Structure 1
Amino acid sequence: MVRERTQLSKIDNVTARQVTFSKRRGGIFKKAHELSILCDAEVGLVIFSATGKLFEYASSSMKDIIEKRSIHSNKLAPEKPSLDLNLENDGYSRLRKQVTETTEKLRKMRGEDLQGLSIEDLQQLEKTLETGLSRVLDRKGEQMMEQISVLEKNGLQLMEENTRLRRQVGDMSSVGKRIVTDSGNAICEDGQSSEPVTNTSQSGGPQDYDDSSDTSLKLGLLWK
């Protein structure tokens, strides 16, 4: 007949549990010893009772077995990421979260994805938009006043430049009139000095004419 397998569960009776622990501990230590001899294996066994008492078995040296086990575990275990890499990943995750939250806020401010918002959320969003609009209008007014100030300054500079140019044109006109007046006076003086010469030439004209007439008469008589 097949032996039925005993259902394993915690033994509620403390005395019976302690007796079972002692029997099974001795049996497992015996099996570990047999395994080390039959298979030429290094076996180390550590047991803590329910009260925290330590029981151990080692086929050679428990310290050597534990060191071998640590070396083997380090070879099989994957390399742990460095601290810098962990910090970089944490920073990336934090920035990604911030970008997601900011994008969601911007979409709501543009009037998108408002279906899941309550009345309080909508009122808060309205206040935020009103505050932002007020700041935009204030900044717009400041820039307009700055532009007006710049235009007024440029207008004053143009007026000063226009006045300066008018003054230069007036000075040039005065100089031109003075030059014309001086030239007229010089022409008048030259006309008075040339008048005697003209009279002299005119008075000598008839004498020259009479001499030529006498000469022609004399030649006509000789020819006859």
Structure 2
Amino acid sequence: MVRGITEMKRIENTTSRQVTFSKRRGGLLKKAFELSVLCDAEVSLIIFSQKGKLFEFSSSSTNKTIERYQKNDKNLGHENILLEQTTEHLKGEVMSMTRNLEVLEISKRRLLGEDLESCSIDELEKVEGQLDQSLRNIRAKKNQLFKEQISLLKDEEKVLMNKNAELREKYEARSLPLFIDRREDESPQTQNMEVDTQLFIGLPER
């Protein structure tokens, strides 16, 4: 026999409504008991009939379960409050950063010489002071880089001079023995030989 589908609406017949309540209530209590036993869950079920009669089931104690629920509900409320406060704080930081970015963008355009029509004399003097300070910083950095480059060039010059001196010493050390060898090859007679020359003016003798 095919079971009919019950339409989900209030049963108008009082007797049928009472019978359905008793059957469904028993099944609901049975399911709550099975859930607590099979899954080791803390389950509490409270039912009030149309006439105000109480039916309940609790795997431990209904009051303890209600207290636990209220405590957990308070914790959830506290977490929600903290979340809202954190969200508001982050929104404030975002707005502050947005305003700072706008101020920086305006200052950047003014330093580039743009959007100066709405500036007052004080604001123009402030921009001029910022530009002067920037120029001083740039010149100081430029001079520092020049000094560092000059120092590097001097160090390279010293290295080259030392290498040049070493090469000169090596060249002189190689040339000196050749000069001494030529002197030693000459015999004493050659070294002590004197050339006698006489100058004669006139006709040759017969």
TM-score calculated relative to the size of structure 1: 0.42
Higher relative contact order (CA 8 A, sep 6+): 2
Structure with more of its chain in helix, by fraction: 1
